[in-house]
Amino acid sequence: MFHYFEMSRASVLQQESSVLAGTPFLTNQWGKAWGIQTHEDVYEVFYNIHTARGMSFQPDFQYINRPGGTTTYHDAAVMGLQFNCIL
């Protein structure tokens, strides 16, 4: 699965003008931006494995390119595991 998130052009312009003016970025409901936000890519692979009747587990791997939409942070790899049991 692939997700592409693009920030609005107005946000990018506001952040670029803040950098040029030497003022801090405005905060939003997600907190402070630590760089000019443009886009973020998320790649995800998962598979549901049935182990017994009514039981399964699902490993999950995500690779996040440009976390937070900036180049401030390094790319991130996230692993998860979900267990399901139906009684």
Q: What is the pTM of this model?
A: 0.69
Q: What pLDDT does residue 83 have? A: 96
User: pLDDT tens digit string along 1-26?
Assistant: 888 888 888 877 887 888 788 877 76
User: pLDDT tens digit string along 13-70?
Assistant: 887 888 788 877 766 666 676 778 888 999 999 999 999 999 999 999 999 998 888 8
Q: What pLDDT does residue 36 have? A: 80
Q: How far apart are CA 60 and CA 20, in angstroms?
A: 41
Cβ count within 10 A of residue 77: 10
